[in-house]
Amino acid sequence: MAMPARFLSPFRTRQKRPHARQSWLWRKHSNLSDLAQPYGEDYCQYMDSAYSTDLGSQFDAAFLSPFTRYAWQSRRARSCWMELQGYQDALAGPIYSVLKSGNCAYIYALENAYFSGVRDPDTLHARLRYWHSKLIAGLDDFVPRDEAEQVDLAAMREFARKTWFVAEKAIDIERSTVI
């Protein structure tokens, strides 16, 4: 005799599929040919040589390490860095696009609060410089109260310096790809 549904645990009624997450990831990425750019072999070789400068690891050090690798000394400093996330995102979007696809042409068509009026690499450079200056201003407003916050402020300034270094490299790549 089967038990009435009201006595069954909700955890027992659902069948678990083994490795469901892994199979979803495999289905999504099993055919990578759809991700290939339709530019041809010469262009792909050129882009491979352009990215041999280790821009990817520099991007990671500037944008991801503050969240994944850095051991924050104070909650207040980490909170300050998190509050400045919008400026970091505004910088990271075009840089990541250059890193992954060789350009950030999508920016030139945007009409939003972040990139309205950006039409070429020079105006993109000015806009990224503006967002970076806002990031620096946010760091300037942070006044450390103790030694741990001073250590974190020095780290945040280094992250901001690395961010602009990567932005400059990305703009150079963007300038070289725009005709």
Local mean pLDDT, 10-residue blocks, the chain (179 residues): 50 46 37 37 44 75 88 95 94 91 87 87 94 96 96 95 94 85
Q: Which of 172, 177, 174, 164 is nearest to 63 (CA)?
A: 164
* CA 83 vs CA 62, 115, 128: distances in Å: 16, 20, 18
pTM over 0.75: no
- Residue 133: in which H helix or E strand, if any? helix 121-141
Q: What is the pLDDT of residue 46?
A: 43
CA distance 136 to 148: 20
Q: What is the pLDDT of residue 130?
A: 95
Q: What is the pLDDT of residue 39?
A: 37
* CA 61 vs CA 21, 119, 156: distances in Å: 29, 29, 12
Residue type, 163: T
Q: Which of 55, 81, 80 is nearest to 68 (CA)?
A: 81
- Residue 104: in which H helix or E strand, if any? none
Does the CA dihedral 122-123-129-135 come out positive or negative? negative
Q: What is the pLDDT of residue 163?
A: 95
- Going through the chain in order, the beta strands assigned E by DSSP cover none
Q: What is the dihedral of CA 167, 168, 170, 174, to 10 degrees?
A: 130
Q: What is the pLDDT of residue 25?
A: 34
Position 136 in a domain: yes
Q: What is the pLDDT of residue 55?
A: 85
Position 101 in a domain: yes
Position 26 in a domain: no
Position 94 in a domain: yes
Position 86 in a domain: yes
Structure tokens given for 62: 């500037």
Position 144 in a domain: yes
Task: Please tell me the total count of domains within the chain.
Answer: 1
CA distance 176 to 174: 5
Q: What is the pLDDT of residue 179?
A: 62
Q: What is the pLDDT of residue 148?
A: 96
Q: Which of 163, 165, 55 is nearest to 101 (CA)?
A: 55
Q: What is the pLDDT of residue 2?
A: 55
**Full domain range(s) for residue 96:** 55-177
Position 149 in a domain: yes
Position 46 in a domain: no
